[in-house]
Structure 1
Amino acid sequence: MLDLHVGLLGAGVMAQTHLEAWLTLGARVSVHSDDGRHTHLAAAHAGQGVEASPSLAHLLDHCALIDICTPTASHKEIILAAVAAGRHVVCEKPLTMSPEDAQEAADAAARAGVHLFPAHVVRYFPEYEALHRAVTGGAVGEPAILHFTRMTAYPDWSPWFGDQSQSGGILTDQMIHDFDYARSLVGDPVRVYAQVRESQSDTGARIATGTAVLTHASGAISYFHGTWGQPGTAFRTTFRVAGSGGVLHHDSHETTAFRVLAHQRGPEDERIPQVALFENPYAAELRDFATAVTTGRPPRVAAHDGVMAVRIAAAARESARTGRAVELTAQEATR
C-alpha cells in the first residue's frame, strides 16, 4: 500500500476514476475543483479518508504529488505551478493542446528535478501490454503495418469536449491514445496525414470520426480510425500488427470483461472501457507513477512520450485542416 498524499484536481469522470484507483492503492487523497463539485466527491468517499481542499495552493502546500484531471486547456498552467512548487505531477492526456506548451511543461519539470507523468493509460491495458511484449520480443518479425480502431459514444457529458479549441477534438482527445501506443511499438513518425468528419444524427446527437496515417522513420506505417458515435455506442477497440514473421490481432468485443464505472451507471452511459484484466489499468498506471516517485525507478511513460503524443496529434489536426500531409522534422521527432 502506498504511503503517499495525492492532491487531485478535478471532479469529473476521469477524476473519479483516478480517485478510485488511488484509494485502491492505499494513497491519501485531497481533492479540489474550481466548480465546487469536489466537495460532493469528497463527501461520497468520506469514510475512506478523502478530504476536500479549498484551493490548488492548499494542495501544493500539503501533497507530495499532484494529479491533474481537469479540462485540457488548463493543464499547462497547473503543471507549471505544481513543478514550481517542487511537486511531482501526473497529468491526464494530453499534456497540453500545443507541442510548444507540452515541451515548456516538460522542460520546467526537468529543471525542477521532479517527475511529469503523462497518463497514457492504454499502455497499461493488459492486451496492449501483451502486444508490446510480443512485438518487441520479435513475435511478428519486423513490424510493417499497424492498424488501430477506437469507438465510443460522443463525450457530451461536458461541453468542452465538443469545442475544438478546448479539446482538440477526436484526433487529440481520443485518438492520441493510439498515436502514443503506435509510437511505443515502432518509433517516431516522420509524416502524418489525417481527416476528420463531424455531423449530427437525425436525433440531433453529435457524431465525429477521424482517420490518420503515420509513416514512421522505421519504415512501418500505422493506420488509425476513431469514432465518437451516438449515445449508447459501445466502447470497442481493435488492433492488428503485421510484420515479416506474422500477424497479431485483438478485438475487445471478443474479450470477457468486467466494467469500471465512473457513476455507477449501466452500459448505455458507460464512460470507461470494458476490459479483461487482473488489475484496473488506471491503478496499474498510477502505481507505476507512484513507484517512480518513491523509489526513483523510471516509469514506463515519460514526459517526452507525452510531448511527442501532443506533437503527433497537433500534426494530425493540421493535416485535417489543410488536407495535406504534415512532415515532422528530425528535430521534432527526437527532442
Structure 2
Amino acid sequence: MTEQRLRIGLVGAGVIAHAHLPNLLRLGDVVVFSEVGAEELVATHGGEVVGSLDELLARVDVVDVVVPTYAHAEVVRAALAAGKDVISEKPLARTDADADDLVRRAHEAGRQLYPAHVVRYFPEYVRLKAAVEAGQLGELAVLRFVRSGGFPTRSAWFADPELSGGIIMDQMIHDLDIARWIAGDVVRVSAVHVRKGTVDHPVEAAHVLLTHASGAISHVAGIWGPAHLPFVTEFSATGTLGTLSHDSRAERNYTAELLDEAAVGGDLPELDPTEDPYFLEIREYLGAFRGGAVPRVSAEDGATAVRIVNAALRSVETGQPVDLEPAPAAGTHEGATA
C-alpha cells in the first residue's frame, strides 16, 4: 500500500523558503501562506497559495515556519494550538522566554517541534561529530568556527538587532549550536561585536568565546560584509590526538575575493542537489512526524542555542562574561546569570 503523502503548510516566503519549499514538495503536498511573496514563491517552485494562516492550519498535517525571527514564536504557538507538529526555522524564538514557552507548549500538547539547525546535516560537520564520538581527536581542547557572507540587506528587519538579534543570532547561532553539539554543554559565554559602515554598505562582525563544561574552548567568528563577499565556512577542532579542519574555499578553489560590480555573494551556501542538507533535515523531521527515528536536533537544543546567543548578546552589552547553567533536561529550562 502506498503511504499517503503528508499535507504540509509552509508559513513564510523569504529567502530561506526557497531552500525549504522544493524539498517539502518532494515529500508531500504543500500549501503556502505569507502576506508577502507567496505567489512568486509558488510560481517558482510549485505548491498552492492560501489566503490566511487559519486556512492553512485547517488544511494541513504539519507546519513549517519560515517567517522572520521576531514572528517565529507567534506562528509556532498557533500551529501547536491547532494540534500540528512543527518545524521552525532557526532561531526557535528571539527571546529565552519565548523559546522555553514553545518547548513547554509542545510537550504539553504532545506534539513534535524541531528547530531547523540545518548545519547539523552538512557532511563536513557530520564528519567532525563522528570523529569526536569515535575518539579520533582524543580529548577536545580548542575548536574554531568561522562563517562569513554578504550583509543581508534584502529585508530591513535583519539590520534591527531587536528584531533579528543581529549577526550573532541570525548567522552565528549555527556554529554556536555546532560547538555545543560537538564539545558538549556550555558554561560560560564571552563576546565582542562591531557594526560599521552605512545603511547601504554595512559591515557587522562578532567573536564569541565558549567555555564548555568539559574544559574545551570554542571560538566562533562571524562576518556580514559587502554584497560581493562569498558565503564561506571553516572550522578546526584540536584534541589530544589530532586535528580535523575544513575550509569551504578550498573546495571551490578561490584565488581572490575582490569587488566585482557584477558579482553578488550569497546568503546560503552552494549545494549539491543530490546531497542537499535541507532535504536531509526536512526528510528526517517529517519521518519523525510519521513515527520514525528521533531527529538529531530537538526543541530543547533549539532553546539552548537561543540561550547561548542571548548570553552572548548580554556579554556584548556589559563587556563581561555570562555564566550558563548546564543544558536543562527536556521540559525544564533555566535562565542565564551575568
TM-score, structure 2 length as denominator?
0.91
The answer for the alignment partner of 2:89 in structure 1 is 92
Segments of 5+ residues of structure 2 without an aligned counterpart are 254-261, 334-338
Q: Is the CA contact (8 Å cut-off) linking 1:91 and 1:118 kept in structure 2?
A: yes
The answer for the alignment partner of 2:240 in structure 1 is 244
2:150 matched to 1:153? yes
2:197 matched to 1:200? yes
The answer for the alignment partner of 2:57 in structure 1 is 60
The answer for the alignment partner of 2:29 in structure 1 is 28
Q: CA deviation at 1:40?
A: 2.5
Q: Is the CA contact (8 Å cut-off) linking 1:256 and 1:275 kept in structure 2?
A: no
Q: CA deviation at 1:275?
A: 4.5
Aligned length: 321
The answer for the alignment partner of 2:68 in structure 1 is 71
Secondary structure of the residue aligned to 1:18 is helix
Q: CA deviation at 1:276?
A: 5.8
Q: Is the CA contact (8 Å cut-off) linking 2:85 and 2:111 kept in structure 1?
A: yes
2:39 matched to 1:39? yes
CA distance 1:290–1:221, change in 2 (3 Å): same
How many percent of aligned residue pairs carry the same amino acid?
Answer: 42
Q: CA deviation at 1:17?
A: 1.3
Q: Is the CA contact (8 Å cut-off) linking 1:151 and 1:235 kept in structure 2?
A: yes
Could you list the per-position Cα deviations for residues 230-252 of structure 1 after superposition, in whole angstroms to 9, with x for gaps in the alignment?
Answer: 11101111100000110001100
Secondary structure of the residue aligned to 2:285 is helix
Q: Distance in 2 between matches of 1:17 and 1:331?
A: 30
Q: CA deviation at 1:20?
A: 1.5
Could you list the per-position Cα deviations for residues 165-214 of structure 1 after superposition, in whole angstroms to 9, with x for gaps in the alignment?
Answer: 0000011111000010010111111100001100006x940000000100
Amino acid of the residue matched to residue 30 of structure 1?
V
The answer for the alignment partner of 2:319 in structure 1 is 323
The answer for the alignment partner of 1:110 in structure 2 is 107
Could you list the per-position Cα deviations for residues 38-65 of structure 1 after superposition, in whole angstroms to 9, with x for gaps in the alignment?
Answer: 12222334xx4x1001111111111111
Q: Is the CA contact (8 Å cut-off) linking 1:252 and 1:275 kept in structure 2?
A: no
The answer for the alignment partner of 2:126 in structure 1 is 129
Could you list the per-position Cα deviations for residues 72-122 of structure 1 after superposition, in whole angstroms to 9, with x for gaps in the alignment?
Answer: 111111111111111011000001111111010011011111111100000
Q: Is the CA contact (8 Å cut-off) linking 2:188 and 2:321 kept in structure 1?
A: yes
2:305 matched to 1:305? no
Secondary structure of the residue aligned to 1:300 is coil
Q: Is the CA contact (8 Å cut-off) linking 1:256 and 1:276 kept in structure 2?
A: no
Amino acid of the residue matched to residue 282 of structure 1?
Y
Amino acid of the residue matched to residue 51 of structure 1?
E
Q: CA deviation at 1:278?
A: 4.1
Superposed structure 1 runs of 4+ greater than 3 Å apart: 275-278, 330-335
The answer for the alignment partner of 1:261 in structure 2 is none
The answer for the alignment partner of 1:263 in structure 2 is none
Q: Distance in 2 between matches of 1:126 and 1:308?
A: 23
Q: Distance in 1 between matches of 2:219 and 2:244?
A: 15
Alignment of 1:211-230 (within 5 A): 211-230=207-226
Q: Distance in 2 between matches of 1:288 and 1:309?
A: 20
Q: Is the CA contact (8 Å cut-off) linking 2:145 and 2:220 kept in structure 1?
A: yes
Q: Is the CA contact (8 Å cut-off) linking 2:231 and 2:265 kept in structure 1?
A: no
Q: Is the CA contact (8 Å cut-off) linking 2:195 and 2:205 kept in structure 1?
A: yes
TM-score, structure 1 length as denominator?
0.91
Q: Is the CA contact (8 Å cut-off) linking 1:255 and 1:275 kept in structure 2?
A: no
CA distance 1:39–1:277, change in 2 (3 Å): closer
Alignment of 1:179-198 (within 5 A): 179-198=176-195
Q: CA deviation at 1:329?
A: 2.5
Amino acid of the residue matched to residue 27 of structure 2?
G
The answer for the alignment partner of 2:259 in structure 1 is none
